[in-house]
Amino acid sequence: TSTTPPDAALRARAQAVIPGGLWGHLNAAKLPEGYPQYFTSAEGCRLRDANGREYIDFMCSWGPVVLGHRHPVVEAAARRQADQGDCMNGPAPVLVELAELLVDTIPHADWALLAKNGTDATTACVTIARAETGRRKVLVARGSYHGAVPWCSPSLAGVTAEDRAHLLTYDYNDIASLEAAADQAKGDLAAVIVTAFRHDFGRHQEMPTAEFARHLRALCDATGAALIIDDVRAGFRIDLGGSWEPLGIRPDLSAFSKAIANGHPLAAVTGRERFRQAATQVYTTGSFWCGAVPMAAAVATINELRRIDGPARMRAMGERLRNGLDALSRQYGLPIRQTGPAQMPLMIFDNDPDWRMGDTFCATALRHGAYFHPRHNMFLSCAHAEADIDQALEAAEAGFRAVAGR
Ligand code: PMP
């Protein structure tokens, strides 16, 4: 029998049959030393890796898990639907229930259509905006992530210039750059797409300023372009009505996914009346897009988030974590900056250009049972309770101690 730990053995086998061992953002090779690749089970705010180690989870599957892993209410709804049918020749009645729930929950939404991934939803928003306006140019913030297809992928491998021929860039929260890009588009501006807040990889997060959000809305109103909010990452964590509701700014189209069904595969596009006809004409579909189980999970997830005021709960626990990390940072004399909404935190050490402090912190906290991320925003779920945060702060203290060399 081999003495290789299961995670290492699986990684070695994967190298032979999966390009790079794993595609995409969940490849653990991009994480500090010691992070596991494979997980065998999860419940609430805890997950267990293939080597049998348990962690308090602060990535929540990078967003989807909003009520906690394997939430009993959601899983019961999914099982009930699975016992009836999932992938059939058309949707189950739960589709209509879910679309009504989305329209009821999200103030700008006059209609909703469903898909599988966030990329499906952002791409559909752009296509619907072009179909409605008959124009081509789309303004995208430099560094914002909108998905994994040629028009928006962060990798240029296999991407042609033509795939991006009609994109113009602006800087998040920078009105002058937005105006300059809009001028360049002249009469051909179809849409401006913007993430709920600035959560670009590997930099401090930034909330949208009220001025920027208002200006963006006014620009779209003046030009007839669609304001698209990419709420894939932040949706259902900041405000159940859409992440710019607290700012009083409503988009024309929104893309949702991740947290919409607590881990079941689903995405949604919501839109205003003006875009209904274009949404009817654009060809959006996929073999699994009418699957009923994720829709039943979404209905249960959104109802539960509404019932318990999920965003407020996650914010409170996020603030407890943030305050605890701030206190530890002062105690160990290691200045940090924490940015973004408390329920989607990011902590970066000052004077850490090569990420060595952040990596040491995270690798050590991991060994002590807390799964943090040094460079990408993290995610709270409604399953994080005070005792979990306090336990995670003990792991964080070990991390600070290691960075301080004590
Ligand atoms: N937009 C944003 C803001 C995202 O964070 C993501 C996923 N990380 C996407 C779009 C794409 O979603 P998906 O990976 O489900 O296609």
Residue spans of the domains in the chain: they are: 6-62+310-404, 72-308
Distance 207 CA to ligand 1 centre (A): 18
254 C-beta closer than 6 A to ligand 1: no
If you measure from the C-alpha of residue 258 to the centroid of ligand 1, how many angstroms do you get, rounded to a whole number? 8
Determine whether the shortest distance from the Cβ of 148 to ligand 1 is under 6 A: yes
CA–centroid distance, 333 to ligand 1, in Å, is 36
Residue 119 in contact with ligand 1 by CB distance below 6 A: yes
Ligand 1: does its nearest atom lie under 6 Å from the Cβ of 151? Answer: no
Relative to the CA of 233, which ligand 1 atom is closest?
5
- Residue 113 reports pLDDT greater than 90: yes
CA pair distance 46, 67, nearest whole angstrom: 12
Quick one: which atom of ligand 1 is closest to the CA of 118? 12
For residue range 273-303, list pLDDT tens digits in order: 999 999 999 999 999 999 999 999 999 999 9
Q: How many Å lie between the centroid of ligand 1 and the Cα of residue 120?
A: 9
Q: Check: CB of residue 242 under 8 Å from CB of residue 254.
A: yes
Model confidence pLDDT, tens digit, residues 225-255: 999 999 999 999 999 999 999 999 999 999 9
- Give per-residue pLDDT as tens, 364-385: 999 999 999 999 999 999 999 9
Provide the residue count of the chain: 406
pLDDT at 2 over 80: no
The CA-CA-CA angle for residues 345, 372, 17, to 5°, reads 120
State the distance from the centre of ligand 1 to the C-alpha of 8, rounded, in angstroms.
Answer: 28
Distance of CA 140 to the CA centre of its chain: 17
Tell which atom from ligand 1 comes closest to the C-alpha of 257. 15
Is 240 a pocket residue for ligand 1 (Cβ < 6 Å)?
Answer: no
Distance from the CA of 394 to the center of ligand 1, in angstroms?
A: 32
- Residue 122 alpha carbon to ligand 1 centre in Å: 8
Question: For residue 105, how many other CB atoms are within 10 A of its CB?
Answer: 18
Q: What's the confidence (pLDDT) of residue 293?
A: 98
Distance 119 CA to ligand 1 centre (A): 6
Of 2.60.40.60, 3.90.25.10, 3.40.50.1010, 3.40.640.10, the CATH number of 72-308 is: 3.40.640.10
Mean pLDDT of all residues belonging to the chain: 98
SS3 of 313, please? helix
Instruction: Give the tokens for residue 119.
Output: 């990329």
**Would you call 168 helix, strand, or coil by DSSP?**
strand
pLDDT of 164 higher than 60:
yes
- pLDDT, tens digit (0-9, with 9 covering 90-100), for 16-34: 999 999 999 999 999 999 9
Asked, colleague to colleague, whether 6-62+310-404 and 72-308 share their fold, the answer is no
* Rounded-to-integer distance, Cα 256 and Cα 269, Å: 6
Q: Which of 386, 377, 236, 258 is nearest to 323 (CA)?
A: 386
Closest ligand 1 atom to 117 CA: 15
- 338 touches ligand 1 (CB under 6 Å): no
Q: Name the class of domain 6-62+310-404.
A: alpha beta
User: Cβ(82) to ligand 1 under 6 A?
Assistant: no
356, two tokens: 């060595």
Nearest CA to ligand 1 atom 12: 118
Which DSSP helix (H) or strand (E) runs through 267? strand 267-271
Lookup: tokens for 69: 């892993």
58-101 confidence digits (pLDDT tens)? 999 999 999 999 999 999 999 999 999 999 999 999 999 999 99
Question: Residue 314 — pLDDT band, cuts 50, 70, 90?
Answer: very high
pLDDT > 70 in the chain, percent? 100
For residue 148, give the ligand 1 atom closest to its CA. Answer: 16
Kindly tell me if the per-residue pLDDT of 1 is higher than 60: no
Confidence label for 46 from pLDDT (cuts 50, 70 and 90)? very high
Of 23, 26, 65, 146, which is best to mutate to test ligand 1, by the most ligand atoms within 8 angstroms of its C-beta?
146
Determine the pLDDT at residue 241: 98
The CB density around residue 210, as the number of other CB atoms within 10 Å, is: 12
**Mean pLDDT confidence for 335-343:** 98
Distance CA 308, CA 284 (A): 34
Ligand 1 and 118: CB distance under 6 A:
yes
Sheet strands (E) in 72-211:
111-115, 137-141, 167-170, 189-195
> What is the number of the ligand 1 atom nearest to the C-alpha of 231?
3
Residue 258 in this model has a pLDDT that exceeds 90: yes
The per-residue pLDDT for 3 is 85
Mean pLDDT of 336-347: 98
The pLDDT of residue 133: 98
Please tell me if the CB atom of residue 377 comes closer than 6 angstroms to any atom of ligand 1: no
Residue 393 has pLDDT above 70, yes or no: yes
